A and B are shown apart, each in its own frame.
Chain A
Amino acid sequence: MGQPHVIEHKPVIINEIKCCEVESSFLQEIAQPQCLEHKPIIVNEIKEIDDRNSVQRGDPVLLIVEDDISFSMILKGICHKKGYKCLWASTGAEALDLSQKYLPKGITLDIELPDMSGRQILEKLKENPETSQIPVHVISFDADEALSLQKGAVGHLTKPVMSSDIEKALSNVCHTQKRSIKNVLVVEDTYSEQQAISNIIKNKNIFATIVDSGLKAIEKIQNEQFDCIILDLQLPDISGAELLRRINTLPTIKLPPVIVYTGRDLNKEEFDELNEYTSSFILKGINSKDRLLDELDLFLHKIKSKDNSQQNTQAPSNPNQSIENVKVLVVDDDMRNTFALSSALKKKGLVIILADNGKTALDKLQSEPGIELVIMDIMMPVMDGYEAISRIRMQKQYDNIPIIALTAKILPEDKNKAFEVGANDFLTKPVDVDKLLSLIKLWYAHAQNNLVRK
């Protein structure tokens, strides 16, 4: 656990608490999936979310038992990548029912569910000879609880936010406010985390009011005085930043200090936005979140290596190496250049769409469906390559589209900047077509394999 370091940021104090010293970078920020859509999910839709309708006999199936929907979706993504189909249960009863019906290859179990304790679920699984041998991976907010369960399960891990983090943040709030905290509003929609946070706070003789949505939080704060807000950024109705903005516009309400915690790194805009309102204390669970996901990966790896029957049923991982008919957008204002380049690429079977500046490029992406890769010159009139690339990356559907920047020899710092705004790679002008083709092949295959963790 690193020491919190204070960054001067008038008039705001930000304490970042990091779980590990590994620095994240602009690339990660760019690669980070944007916040999940903040719309309430209706339970009927959820059954569509897992793969129960497409599971066939002999399919490798994994059961995810977790009451946090957005987190379940992340877990599901990892399992899919490893070639598993997923079932999803948000209650213990449903988990037991599904594990009987489908006999999954493995189970990931959140031990704090609304209807049953993790211990009960594990005992029931063990009692039944059919399910007693299924490896179980325990995911828990409370390390001690998980440890005590470890006997029956394969292993355990702790959820992103550590109690010590929250304690530290609370004492920081006390310290900067120069008064003690008596009354805290907790805005958190996941049951297990509500429980965990309220346990931590109770130990400190602080009174906690828990609400599970942004709108309810606004309602509460109008009728009651709070010394501090503990805020999960991923709420079902409005975003954390939006919540702060709305509270801030309320007449006569002064926004108290906010402890924000987030399962991922914030990008600069989000960071600035949160800091507009109040002295926020940002808890970054990013590295522990990563650990959580990595450990799931390792669990899957283990059950896969034990289970040889699956080795052969796996689809071959050979990427399609052909770049025939791949649609490429070439953006360059120098017509002679563009013509030579595009005819060379056409000869190799690529389909070329042209644009002569960044703005036209953005329009073409809209009007020409199915563009799979972008080659972007940097120096252009109207809108240069940097701006165009960062605008492309702002749109969620282009998270994974490969972008190769063309930089000028005389400006070596261009290369870094191209990366910072979200290019995957670059070549120096004048462009050697063979070199460009190798890169197109490489990044196209990379995107096909969708190797970026979503």
Chain B
Amino acid sequence: MRSINRFRPVFYVLLSVYALITFVPFLWALSASFKSLPEIVSGGIHFIPKHFTLDNYQTIFKQEPLFSRWFLNSAFIAISVTIFNLLFNSMAGYALARIRFPGSTLMFYSILAMIMIPGQLTIIPSYLIIKELGWLNSYQAIIVPMAAQATYIFMMRQFFISFPKELEEAAELDGLGRFGLFFKVVLPLAKPALAAQTIFIFMGAWNEFLKPLMLMSDKSMFTLSVGLNTFKGQYISFWNYIMAASIIMTIPALLIYIFFNRFFVQGITFTGTK
């Protein structure tokens, strides 16, 4: 302990330097989003805009009619995917943890095997299946294939395994069936696991790039991540607009993260992955 005390200031300096390394790119982007283009082009390093302006934000929402549409597309897809996953993954996880039925062991090992399948393998066949279904350029093209995820089914199963059985037994004596039991007793008590899942799934869907890139060719169906990329091509040197759009895209994920932060580590140790 004594040695730690002696070096304590050094560690604070290291942590602060790294905090700076983390923050500077974001602050630099934030600052650019409030500067006018001439101020950006004129160069020099100042993080506080000389003439603070909201024009960039107004422009991307007013001049680029699709920007708000992309934002709503992303929000609709991310929220739907999150709700479906919370429901379906918990149901499957609960069944695998608690209900004994023929085929359950096989299903459990299949889920485990699926966790190991890299997504790249299924990109092309999924595209062709979705094309055959006539789902290209539709919300369901992204929402349905993402509506249940093996990793989180496994996570929920682990959660329910260590769940006290007594509560369920008591509720069963009160005459609740499986469904009543699940929705009225089990799910409300699974809040920490559901919160951890919410963060990961919402962020995964909100930040997803490859799927909308491949499935949406209609500009009006783009999500923010893909829209942002075409935005970059269109406003190639208008970094003020590009940075304002980037900040807009970051805010929802940031809010979710701040709100659910205490469940973060828990979720990571549960799933072992992002």
Are A and B co-members of a single complex? no
